[in-house]
Chain A
Amino acid sequence: MAIDITQFHETFFEESFEGLDIMESGLLNLDIGAADNDTINSIFRAAHSIKGGSATFGFTDVAEFTHGMETLLDEMRDGTRDVTQKSVDTLLQSVDCLRELLAAARDKTPVDSERVAVVHKSLEKILSSEGGSNISTENDEHNENSQTESISERSGWKINFKPHHDMLKTGNDPVRMFRELSELGELTVIVDISQLPTLADLDPEESYLSWDLTLKTDVEIDLVKEVFEWVIDECDLEISEIVSSTDDTAMSSETQDRENEQGTENISSEPSSQAKRQVAKPGVTEKSTASTDSSASIRVSIDKVDALINMVGELVITQSMIGQLDCDFDDFDNSRMEKLRDGLTLLERNTRELQESVMRIRMLPISFAFNRFPRMVHDLCQKLDKKIELRTTGENTELDKTVMEKIGDPLVHLVRNSIDHGIEMPQARKETNKPETGVIELNAFHKGGNIIIEIKDDGAGFNKDRIKNKAIERGLISSDEHLSDDKIYDLIFQPGFSTAEQLSDISGRGVGMDVVRRNIRELGGNIDVTSEEGKGTTFTIRLPLTLAILDGQLVCVGDEIFITPLVSIVESLQIKKEFVNNIAGQTELYKVRDDYIPIVRMHEMFGINVEKKSLEGGLLVVVEGDGKKAGLLVDELLGQQQVVIKSLETNYQRVDGVSGATILGDGTVALILDVDGLIDLSRNTSAPNNSPDNSVLAVA
């Protein structure tokens, strides 16, 4: 019965891409000249698996391409070929190529066959060059063993089969072979027991028998040999032709030799050539399941799923516990009230745990984002002639999948910047008494409900004067403005800012940093930078654990309830008249210790009618967003709770100062405040002369 092997394709692609990652990181870790055998082995294994799988599942071009890589790796593994930079680089290119080939096979899209051919060629060039054994192209030796015997006369085969003593120990049973032979024709078996010892001397695990077999058939000798293929080295075998109507005289006797290998190769080559035909015209395959969107699935460890199932189990128990309470409310005494309360407490705990477990399913280790960097650093170093070591810590820190996908590009940008602008050329580093090899560190860790990602280099650091001059040149600041270090560093995040003296195609034209910050803010995170000239620069990205749930403080303004993200609240205080200052008759500032922060009257901002409009005695929630503080004037502080974020844009439209909405326990909808946006909004209404771009600089 035919089995549809396309059902295994998805797994094959998944593991192949994983294999490519293993190969890539392995290749990057190889020490040229003194390569570690385990690493080469793991790279080889990955290539080997891809080759085996692709051949089995009918991706012939992938299999053919991988074959060259495998051969090269095999030679490295055997030690017959030295590990050179050139071969490692070619292998890396081959990994890229293979990735494209696999993606093309998966998505059923065409490949850049020219590029593939180029890489394939350079691979073959290495293989044919000195320092390695010749390429074993197993396909070359396709059988020429066309048997030239006169078929017409033949009526069968006479076989003398004498197993060696230990043949049984490989699990090969002569009976199995005879059964197989009998399927080829009429078989007569005569056993020779002359070698059988006496019972006392007999070792039941040894083989003492030999057989004379007569097979009446018209099949070729290859099929007969195939039966004995596995035991060819464990027996004496003679096969001779029986010519019809004559006696048993052998016309052409043939002793077995290595030739039989070709029997297997014949068989194995068949499906692959079939597959080739199918692959050659991908458009025709009727089973082209709509190109599978691989990003739509997520791999979850069994532990997480088990935890989830456990939770659900507990939830069911709690539910039945509450259900058992007799719901006759006329007769609801205290003891039952107690039980009900217990049950609800339990339910709350279950819900929270369940929620956490479900959230964890979406979490992936940050190594998913970090993995691409070793290769990038390697490639850029070669391009720029720099020496850089990449160190990563906290690769297992987990991050929401969506956050992970969106943080990739900003990270790439920052690392590129560090390589291009941060780390100096080896010579320059030597002159400043630094080690020639620069270090870039990628660190990820948890801190207070957030994920922190650090990109740290020990390069040149920022030149504050140069940043300032550039900002003046660009009209971002006025020349007499005095700025703190933080403010100066903040300038690099302004749109269109670049200090690179020479534009390069690596980190581009400096258009990126504002985009980097915007992307990170869109994820509800922020980015800070610290730098010391001559010592290096550190970018610190702070990200929320998840995008779907938020710890919020409920506040009341008039009849409306708003949710303020707990992370952005600094403190809440009652307003005292003497600390309120008016600037230019319009902006109200409140003095909090040594800081002056603008007051945002929430009811004005959102057009809500409130009874009490005076500041005196009002509640001020001090919030901080993006380094800026503001005080939100609210009527009342309600409880804190976790809320599920619902997008406003998908259901309504974007509203400034609001990041989303949620549904409260009583079913009403509450808006979630966008603290950064709110602060910007308040600045723009209170200080209309400031353009949004330099509002950053105007903050006290």
Chain B
Amino acid sequence: MASILAVDDSASMRQMVSFALKNAGHDVVEAVDGQDGLQAAKANKVSLVITDVNMPNMDGIALIKELRNLPDYKFTPILMLTTESAPHKKQEGKDAGATGWIVKPFDPDQLLATISKVLG
């Protein structure tokens, strides 16, 4: 299965996302904020990135921009996890290069359904 990077500063969300993904047979790399996520992405070539938007140190939008600048991640699907259903946040993410978003609250099944679409 795929290797996936999950970036979220909330331990419970990270736990849930990671658990759900691992349960579905994926390899999961976890990171606690954008900076950590960027390091993790450089160290492991993953085939999907799921990132929270609001995080300390480096937020999700900045992470997406950074990732898109890396040759390895030019076309890698990147999903934002966001509670902000405000269109401008999604737009900001899209402009930064996000593939799409998953709106919180979601349950593990919704998450898996979404990522299976992206991973094909």
Contact = CB atoms under 8 A, between A and B. Distances in A.
Interface residues on B, range: 35 or more
Interface in B96-120: 97-101, 103-110, 117-118, 120
A180 B68 CA distance: 25
B75 A5 contact: no
A437 to B, nearest CB: 31
Contacts of B10: 12, 15, 49, 52-53
A179 B56 CA distance: 37
- Grouping DSSP codes into helix (H, G, I), strand (E, B) and loop, the A interface class, with mixed when no group exceeds half, is helix
Interface in B20-54: 20, 23-24, 54
A1 interface: yes
A63 B104 CA distance: 11
Contacts, number: 130
Nearest to A70: B83
Given A15-B12, A170-B97, A171-B99, A233 B91 contact: yes
Interface in A1-37: 1-3, 5, 7-9, 11-12, 14-15
A1 B109 CA distance: 7
A205 B85 CA distance: 30
A478 interface: no
A210 to B, nearest CB: 19
A264 interface: yes
Contacts of B104: 52, 55-56, 268
Interface in A246-301: 258, 261, 264-265, 267-268, 271-272, 275
Given A176-B118, A229-B100, A268 B107 contact: no
Contacts of B103: 264-265, 267-268
Contact of B105 (A44, A56, A138): A56
Contacts of A120: none
Q: Which 5 residue pairs of A and B lie closest in terms of their CB atoms, listed nearest first?
A: A230-B100, A55-B105, A12-B12, A171-B99, A56-B105
Interface of B: 9-13, 15-16, 19-20, 23-24, 54-56, 68, 74-78, 81, 83, 85-87, 91, 94, 97-101, 103-110, 117-118, 120
16 contacts: A2-B108, A2-B109, A5-B16, A12-B10, A15-B10, A49-B13, A49-B54, A55-B83, A56-B104, A138-B86, A168-B75, A170-B78, A171-B98, A264-B103, A267-B110, A268-B85
Interface of A: 1-3, 5, 7-9, 11-12, 14-15, 42, 44-45, 48-49, 51-53, 55-58, 63, 136, 138, 168-173, 175-176, 179-180, 205, 229-230, 233-234, 258, 261, 264-265, 267-268, 271-272, 275
